Chains A and B, each alone.
Chain A
């Protein structure tokens, strides 16, 4: 089977390469680009640890073929140095203890980043809805929701 050309930007950098059609976006990011911040968790599209932003929208990179991202702008948790929103989120997750083992955190950050870019002042319910596709088995979610609200400058969550 042939290789397929793949032109996209990842965290603002242009990438031109070729991949086999069966290469998952998650594997392309981790194994070809060595961006291992994106995690593979359940690998069945449930847990959201592999969440990345494609053209600004969170999606599950374990359910996406890399070839389908051709021409797109991909952002991963490594891109957090570039964006103000992600940096704020990262600091809030530390301040509010929004993580324990940390495995779900990159996916949580990416979903939260997309939320805050679209809706800078979300309510607690809007945060919960935006994180509905991301599972955490440690925190019980309360501190994660608080972290996102903290990054939005509204700990009260109203």
Chain B
């Protein structure tokens, strides 16, 4: 591994100023599960790593007065999976975090590091998009809040400026009666990286869907909402025919990744299947 220096600021402002002063050779490091691998493979050669480990304001999960959730960027996946309030009130999120990667990575990797690295083959982005997540970015110049859609720009690319850090993730309270389903497809049970993920949050009155937020990840370069699928569901009575049509149509609109882990056609087919099963589960339809 290339040589680098290791800095441990105690505050966000200090970390941001270090990045400003040191320029392009700087990388922030949180849990390190992704970055250490890229360092070892010499894909990045930073002059300095700025560790976020001593910045306590980045830690913790808080429940807001309106029932929304604030998740500090340095929160480890295992903490989300094991958090009593999250398990009780956000089972879709807790369940996603409990299945991500493998136990060791869940103990070390952080939700903020995951989003900032912007690797498409991972679980949180689609799940958080469907939950309506917003992110707070901080620098020594101040903070700004973005919808997660606007933070996730492209394949391994985010909206973060050179001296900006992800401070926290904010989830609005789920509307009463909202049902969430998170589904992931792995090529084999031993794989730790999903080939396609689908996250669905719907509200239903009688047999009519009143609201739907659906997102797809891992199969595409950057996790994205599926507006065509949402439009095909919201305001309509839900039948098996409707969700089959919706799943097929939505999968057909995608431009999936096409690489050694899975062809575009395969990923597209797996998105359709995951979507169909998720919608069936969310609306309580029997599987055929």
Among B1, B37, B51, B53, contact of A63 (Cβ-Cβ < 8 Å):
B37
Question: In the complex, how many angstroms separate the beta carbon of A3 from the nearest chain B beta carbon?
Answer: 10
A 42-58 contacts with B by CB, 8 A: 43-46, 48, 51, 54, 57-58
Contact with A along B27-53 (1 / 0, CB 8 A): 001001100110110000000010101
A133 interface residue per 8 A CB criterion: yes
| Interface residues of A, dominant DSSP | mixed
Among A4, A20, A51, contact of B104 (Cβ-Cβ < 8 Å):
A51
Cβ–Cβ < 8 Å partners of B29 in chain A: 65, 68
B287 interface residue per 8 A CB criterion: no
Among B53, B78, B102, B107, contact of A132 (Cβ-Cβ < 8 Å):
B102
Cβ–Cβ < 8 Å partners of A22 in chain B: 1-4, 39
Among B6, B37, B101, B103, contact of A130 (Cβ-Cβ < 8 Å):
B103
Given A45-B37, A46-B192, A63-B32, residue A133 in contact with residue B105 (CB < 8 A): yes
Contact, CB under 8 Å: B192 / A65? no
Q: Looking across the interface, which residue of chain B has its beta carbon closest to that of A110?
A: B104
Cβ–Cβ < 8 Å partners of A63 in chain B: 32-33, 36-37, 104-105, 108
Question: In the complex, how many angstroms separate the beta carbon of A59 from the nearest chain B beta carbon?
Answer: 4
Q: Looking across the interface, which residue of chain A has its beta carbon closest to that of B82?
A: A118
A74 interface residue per 8 A CB criterion: no
Q: How far is the CA of A62 from the CA of B40 in the complex (A)?
A: 10
B 82-118 contacts with A by CB, 8 A: 101-105, 107-108
Q: Looking across the interface, which residue of chain A has its beta carbon closest to that of B106?
A: A133
A60 interface residue per 8 A CB criterion: yes
Contact, CB under 8 Å: B32 / A133? no
A108 interface residue per 8 A CB criterion: no
Question: In the complex, how many angstroms separate the beta carbon of A55 from the nearest chain B beta carbon?
Answer: 9
Cβ–Cβ < 8 Å partners of A43 in chain B: 40
Chain A: residues with CB nearer than 8 A to chain B?
A: 1-2, 4, 20-22, 24, 43-46, 48, 51, 54, 57-60, 62-65, 67-68, 111, 114, 129-130, 132-133, 135
Q: A22-B39, A24-B40 are in contact. List 18 more A-B contacts (CB 8 A).
A: A21-B3, A24-B36, A44-B37, A45-B37, A48-B104, A58-B103, A60-B104, A63-B37, A64-B108, A65-B6, A65-B36, A67-B51, A68-B32, A68-B53, A129-B103, A130-B103, A133-B101, A133-B192
A-B pairs, 4 with minimum CB distance: A133-B102, A21-B6, A57-B107, A59-B108
Complex A-B: 25 CB contacts under 8 Å = A21-B5, A22-B39, A24-B36, A24-B40, A45-B33, A45-B37, A48-B104, A57-B108, A59-B104, A59-B105, A59-B108, A60-B104, A60-B108, A63-B32, A63-B33, A63-B36, A64-B108, A65-B36, A67-B51, A68-B29, A129-B103, A132-B102, A133-B102, A133-B104, A135-B190
